[in-house]
Amino acid sequence: MEPGYLLLIFTTLATASAMAAYVPGVRKGADTPWLGIARICVYATALGLMATAATLWYHILSHHYQYSYVYRYTSSDMPLRYVIASFWGGQEGTFLLWALYGGLLAVFIRFKAKQYESPVLFFYLGIDLFLLLMLLKANPFAKLPQIPTEGNGLNPLLQDPWMTIHPPIMFFGFASLGIPAAYAMAAMVKEDWDNWIRRAIPWTTFGILALGTGLTLGGYWAYSILGWGGFWGWDPVENSSLVPWLLAVGLLHNQMIQLKRGIFRRLNLFLALLPFVLLTYSTFLTRSGVLADFSVHSFTDLGINQFLVAFMVVFLGGGLGLFVWKFRRIPTDKTQAPLASREYFMFLGSLVFTLFAIFVALGTSAPIITRIWGPASNVQPEFYNRMGLPFAGLITLLVGVAPFLVWRDVNLKESLRRLMWPTLISLAAMPLLVFIGVRHIPHLVLMVLTTFAVVSNAYMILLLIRRKWRAAGGYLAHVGIGLAVLGIVASTSYGTKETVVLPKGEEVLSLDYGFKYLGRREIENGRKDAYDVALRTADGAYLVSPTMYFSDFNQGMMKKPAIHSFWSRDVYVSPIGHALDPLQDRIQTRVHLQKGTPVSSDGMTLTLIDVAPRSPDAKATGPDGSSHPTKEVVATIDVLHGGTHQTLQPVLQGFSDGSTNVVPADIANTDQAISLLTTETTGTQVDVGIRWPSLGILRGESGDIQGNKVSLNSFDVQMPTREGGSVKVFAIAHVEMNGETFHVRPGIISRPGDSGGLEQIEAPIGRTGQNLVLERVDANTGRAFFYIAQAPQEYLYAEVSLKPFIGLLWMGTALTVLGLAFATFQRGRIANRLVTSEAGREGLEAKKNGKRVAA
Amino acid sequence: MNHKMRVAFGVAALAVFGTMAFLNFNKTVAPYVPFAEAKAAERTVQVAGAPNHEAARFDPSLKQFQFTMSDEHGEVMPVIFTGVKPGNFDEAEKVVVIGKYQEGAFHANQILVKCPSKYNDATTDDPAKEAS
């Protein structure tokens, strides 16, 4: 058997043994004879998980492709940092990562939890046990029947520094949010209703911090890499991390109330279970495949659905069962919180967060809920956006007012006096907001409220900084959240976008900026193409370079936007495509014909006899093979070639969607064809194109194209680097034109797959303005077909958008993270001190009384 | 405010929340239907199907992205999307279009493309076949 799998079995047994050995201590307290064994098993769990992870990393780094996981997510040509990161490229790896964090945190708790060690670790290790059981089923060390020589590679979209650190941070948050739940269950078993709070608070805060950081990184990645312009899509995968985050924020504020005031004991025990239960629920939603049709992410069933369901049932059932069982025994404080007290406002804030979490969870579960009465349906993003506005308004109001309210009591006069400045400043911001263009009343109200929240909390920090700077973390997080909300509203509601077509070298004005496409440039050893665009503002010019490249992994074009940040806005340039000529058929000569007037071109004489619409042939199909043309125009042209007249009828088809299709007519006795390109509405003039036949020559031969001598010297064939890649064939040729000899290297890329076909890489013939095109290479004879064409106009299609004040979002989230980190540190410090003194007191009492103290 | 009034107030607030949530849900829920039903429906619906990549093109003058798609029953329908081609469209074997049917074509206001994310890609699930 695999060493890695053996390690997994060993670790699973160690975890189960640790749980079993902790059972006697769950109710009794710290010292049972089993405690030593339990601790050894905890260490063994952590070591086992580290060894398992190290084994997986070893296989990944050594490119052992016989392992399915290594094959699926890595390849030899990946940079080292992405090889390391491919550990969490797949589901199995992320479960292992989650379990690994759990194991390490378990060791940490073993040293910190003191008399809570047994019950907390019993419940907390339960999570790891489930994760390990799932890993035994969905084994990351599964082998393939044959050994592939090369791996599949990691999706290039994920080969990004932000995406590299996003999962490890996210799963750290997942692992931390299990701890408050474990503490709540432990508290219920021990019937210790208050002490668990301060021990759990640092973990709740840390979970919010880690999950929040992960969400922000994911949003930033979506914004800067995916190129759809947004940072949040209300996708089930995003929502499933947002819901536990919202619940944890609600929990944290309610825990703070209990810490200060000793109320909400029952509610907190219940709320502490929610973030973790919802984490398991969302893990189920996103990994079981039930939402496969409703998410932009792809999910596959790994065959662990029954484990996921059991995971949910055990933790939800166990936690709720315990809660219901103990409910009557939980002492309640009958005193009511006054309406304008700080605890009441914090409670309202906590309630709003929890309700919004439920709301998002309901929306995400829509495909499951609607299945009850009809076909599975999901809700549109407006569902969340509509409710988000009033929720954000309520929250910012509460966040703005709460810092200046006092605990327990109502001191309206004092509170209002202190609130005066923040209120005045935010009201003063209103005309400014109207002036810069915020005219929509709900947006204006929300922005004023948000300004109020920011100013009020910043003011609070100023007041605290001299006396109680240690308590400033929370207020800093509030300032950050306020700024983030401002950034979100400004950039999403007041952003503008436009699709532009940028001809090379010509400046196009859009959204008050000038955009000039400068040209294409190869980057990263030719693996990607950067498209340089000069962005001109009133007072300067900047270079922005969106990139596009063909990904062998995804078998498609990858498009990465370019962003230029000004202090008040981001200019976002998202590439759509790059085209050399708007026509599919390359036309070498374009001729304008007037009715009855002969025109000589390319050794023939063309005369337009008539141009008229005709009713479309119902059987004819359009270029897409499905829709019928809605109109057709036929030109009747007399062609005099080689002394004979012939009458040709090229057709231009139009479709309901506005697209057109050209049906050329072949010129007899030549390889040329004539196409109708445009018609005048008057029906007297047309533009036609003449296509030349291509020249087919073998290696070493030369031939003549339009009076120019073209010689094919050799081929340069580049085979794909691995299976599924593309074959590139270049022709090493030279062209004699205007008395000069040019060396040119046109090529073709053959892309496998449905959307395949050939892509020509045209080669410019010196500075003549003409290109040599390798049309195709006959696979049997090795005959290469060339033609010479006008160097086409190059176009870059892009979507440009302005994101006003989006910087506030990133700055705000950074401040929030900073504030949370500070708060976590301070809360941890306080909890540590209290727990240590608690333990000391307990030990002293135990000695004095000569008996064990329960709880 | 006494205890009873507070409870009444809380219940009222929850009722408002519940009603808002329910109304919103009904308004924004988009059922999953084939093209045949989409033609009859007046509301926003979503249709899953296989896009025809050959027919996909972006029209810069109309700023529209157009393609045809065949749904699960094989019915082919032109799809018009005002906007740009979604990022991973080229490699998508299946897309979900969300919008309304109007005059011979499905006007999508959103195209969901199954993006190959960190989750397992179904096409690479059986590597034994590919790795010979």
Write the pLDDT tens digit of every residue in A577-599: 777 654 444 556 778 888 888 88
For A390-440, the DSSP string reads HHHHHHHHHHHHGGGS-SSS--HHHHHHHHHHHHHHHHHHHHHHHHTT---
Tell whether the model's pLDDT for residue B128 goes beyond 70.
no
The answer to whether the beta carbons of residues A258 and A265 sit under 8 Å apart is yes
**Confidence band for A676, pLDDT divided at 50, 70 and 90:** confident
The backbone torsions φ and ψ at residue A496, rounded to the nearest 5 degrees and listed phi first, read: -130, 155
CATH among 3.30.365.10, 3.40.630.30, 3.40.50.300, 2.40.50.140 for B31-118: 2.40.50.140
Tell whether the model's pLDDT for residue B125 goes beyond 50.
no
Closest CA in chain B for residue A288: B119
- Average pLDDT for A41-67: 95
What does the alpha-carbon distance between residue A133 and residue A641 come to, in Å, rounded to a whole number? Answer: 81
The answer to whether the beta carbons of residues A505 and A483 sit under 8 Å apart is no
- Bridge-based pairing state of the strands A727-737 and B64-71: unpaired
pLDDT value of residue A841: 64
**Confidence band for B131, pLDDT divided at 50, 70 and 90:** very low
Whose CA is closest to A98, among A264, A16, A210?
A: A210
B-chain residues near A378 (CB < 8 A): 29-30, 32, 46
The torsion defined by the Cα of B30, B34, B36 and B38, in degrees rounded to 10, comes to 20
| Higher pLDDT pick, A790 / A600 | A600
Q: How far is CA B127 from CA A58, A69, B130, in A?
A: 21, 10, 5
Q: How far is CA A491 from CA A451, A509, A568, A720, A746, in A?
A: 16, 21, 10, 43, 45
**Confidence band for B124, pLDDT divided at 50, 70 and 90:** very low
Q: How is residue A595 annotated by DSSP?
A: B
Facing residue for A626 by CB, picked from B57, B78, B120: B78
The answer to whether the beta carbons of residues A454 and A805 sit under 8 Å apart is no
The answer to whether the beta carbons of residues A402 and A346 sit under 8 Å apart is yes
Residue A106 sits at the vertex; the CA angle it makes with A100 and A107, to the nearest 5 degrees, is 100
Q: How is residue A222 annotated by DSSP?
A: I
Report the length, in residues, of chain B: 132
**Which residues numbered 26-55 in B keep a CB inside 8 Å of some CB on A?**
27-33, 44, 46, 48, 52-55
Q: Which of B6, B20, B67, B119 to mutate to test the interface with A (most CBs of A within 10 A)?
A: B119
Q: How far is CA A600 from CA A290, A595, A607, A690, A691, in A?
A: 67, 14, 9, 12, 15
Whose CA is closest to A533, among A546, A549, A548, A523?
A: A546
- Average pLDDT for A327-346: 82
pLDDT value of residue B129: 27
Tell me the sheet residues that pair with A666: A673
What does the alpha-carbon distance between residue A825 and residue A828 come to, in Å, rounded to a whole number? Answer: 5
pLDDT value of residue A355: 92
- Average pLDDT for A346-371: 89
**Confidence band for A853, pLDDT divided at 50, 70 and 90:** very low
Facing residue for B1 by CB, picked from A226, A339, A378: A339
A-chain residues near B104 (CB < 8 A): 627, 656
b (16+ CB within 10 A) / e for A618-652: eeeebbbebbebeebbbbebebebeeeebebebbb
Q: How many CB atoms lie within 10 A of CB A794?
A: 17
What does the alpha-carbon distance between residue A537 and residue A512 come to, in Å, rounded to a whole number? Answer: 8
Residue-wise pLDDT tens digits, B57-103: 777 666 678 888 988 888 888 899 877 677 667 667 788 888 888 88
Whose CA is closest to B93, among B115, B124, B118?
A: B115
Q: How far is CA B22 from CA A491, B9, B32, in A?
A: 28, 20, 19
| Higher pLDDT pick, A697 / A107 | A107
pLDDT value of residue A515: 95
Tell me the sheet residues that pair with A651: A634, A663
Q: How many CB atoms lie within 10 A of CB A329?
A: 9
Instruction: Tell me which range, A42-46, A332-336, A493-497, B56-60, is most confidently predicted by mean pLDDT.
Output: A42-46
**Confidence band for A854, pLDDT divided at 50, 70 and 90:** very low
Whose CA is closest to A623, among B97, B67, B86, B85?
A: B67
The torsion defined by the Cα of A110, A112, A116 and A117, in degrees rounded to 10, comes to 10
Q: How many CB atoms lie within 10 A of CB A234?
A: 20
- Domain residue spans of chain B: 1-29, 31-118
Closest CA in chain A for residue B78: A627
**Which residues numbered 54-73 in B keep a CB inside 8 Å of some CB on A?**
54-55, 57-64, 66-68
B129 part of contact set with chain A, CB < 8 Å:
no
b (16+ CB within 10 A) / e for A810-827: bbbbebbbbbbbbbbebb
Phi-psi category of B125—alpha, beta or left, where left has phi over 0 and alpha has psi -120 to 50?
Answer: alpha
Closest CA in chain A for residue B66: A657
Q: Do B28 and A382 touch (CB under 8 A)?
A: yes
The answer to whether the beta carbons of residues A227 and A574 sit under 8 Å apart is yes
How close A290 comes to chain B (CA, Å)?
14
- Average pLDDT for B105-121: 64
The answer to whether the beta carbons of residues A197 and A259 sit under 8 Å apart is yes
Task: Give the start-end residues of each E strand in A538-650.
Answer: 540-544, 547-551, 556-560, 562-565, 569-579, 589-594, 599-601, 604-614, 631-641, 644-648
Q: How is residue A142 annotated by DSSP?
A: P
Q: How is residue A88 annotated by DSSP?
A: G
Q: Do B120 and A339 touch (CB under 8 A)?
A: no
pLDDT value of residue A357: 94
Q: How is residue A223 annotated by DSSP?
A: I
Tell whether the model's pLDDT for residue B30 goes beyond 70.
yes
Q: What percent of chain A stands above pLDDT 90?
A: 36
**SS3 call for A853:** coil
Residue-wise pLDDT tens digits, A418-436: 888 889 999 998 898 888 8
The secondary structure of chain B, three-state, reads: CCHHHHHHHHHHHHHHHHHHHHHHHHHHEEEECCHHHHHHCCCCEEEEEEEEEEEEEEECCCCEEEEEEEECCCCEEEEEEECCCCCCHHHCCCEEEEEEEECCEEEEEEEEECECCCCCCHHHCCHHHHCC
- Average pLDDT for A134-154: 88
The answer to whether the beta carbons of residues A687 and A678 sit under 8 Å apart is yes
**Average pLDDT score over chain A:** 84
- Average pLDDT for A345-365: 91
Tell whether the model's pLDDT for residue A93 goes beyond 80.
yes
Q: Which helix (DSSP H) or strand (DSSP E) does residue A533 occupy?
A: strand A528-537
Residue A369: Cβ-neighbour burial (10 angstroms; 0-12, 13-18, 19+) = middle
ipTM of predicted assembly, 2 dp: 0.72
pLDDT value of residue A382: 81
pLDDT value of residue A43: 97
Residue B30 sits at the vertex; the CA angle it makes with B27 and B31, to the nearest 5 degrees, is 130
> What amino acid is encoded at A377 in this protein?
S
For A552-567, the DSSP string reads TTTTEEEEE-EEEE-S
**Average pLDDT score over chain B:** 75
How close A848 comes to chain B (CA, Å)?
45
How close A453 comes to chain B (CA, Å)?
23
Could you tell me the sign of the dihedral formed by the alpha carbons of A440, A446, A450, A451, in that order? positive
Task: Tell me the helix, strand and coil percentages in chain A, rounded to 5.
Answer: 50, 25, 25
pLDDT value of residue A450: 94
Residue-wise pLDDT tens digits, A545-570: 999 887 777 666 778 899 999 988 99
**Confidence band for B8, pLDDT divided at 50, 70 and 90:** confident
pTM (2 d.p.): 0.78
- What is the number of CB-based contacts under 8 A between chain A and chain B? 201
Closest CA in chain A for residue B130: A723
Whose CA is closest to A557, among A755, A716, A744, A698?
A: A755
What does the alpha-carbon distance between residue A707 and residue A739 come to, in Å, rounded to a whole number? Answer: 11
Q: How is residue A625 annotated by DSSP?
A: S
Residue-wise pLDDT tens digits, A226-279: 777 788 888 888 888 999 999 999 999 999 999 988 888 999 999 999 999 898
Q: Do B128 and A574 touch (CB under 8 A)?
A: no
Whose CA is closest to A595, among A583, A571, A612?
A: A612
Q: How many CB atoms lie within 10 A of CB A28?
A: 14
pLDDT value of residue A661: 67
Closest CA in chain A for residue B110: A380
Facing residue for B113 by CB, picked from A163, A296, A724: A296
Facing residue for A383 by CB, picked from B25, B67, B89: B25
- Average pLDDT for A115-142: 92
User: Can you read off the two tokens belonging to residue A238?
Assistant: 């995003």
Q: How far is CA B58 from CA A625, A657, A658, B83, in A?
A: 17, 11, 11, 9
Q: How is residue A116 annotated by DSSP?
A: G
Question: Which residues have a Cβ under 8 Å from the Cβ of A53 and sit 6 or more positions away?
Answer: A87, A96, A97, A100
Tell whether the model's pLDDT for residue A642 goes beyond 90.
no
Could you tell me the sign of the dihedral formed by the alpha carbons of A332, A338, A342, A346, in that order? positive
What does the alpha-carbon distance between residue A51 and residue A684 come to, in Å, rounded to a whole number? Answer: 82
What does the alpha-carbon distance between residue A566 and residue A571 come to, in Å, rounded to a whole number? Answer: 8
Closest CA in chain B for residue A371: B31
Q: Do A576 and B85 touch (CB under 8 A)?
A: yes
Q: Which of B14, B19, B20, B24 to mutate to test the interface with A (most CBs of A within 10 A)?
A: B24
The answer to whether the beta carbons of residues A683 and A662 sit under 8 Å apart is no
Closest CA in chain B for residue A227: B87
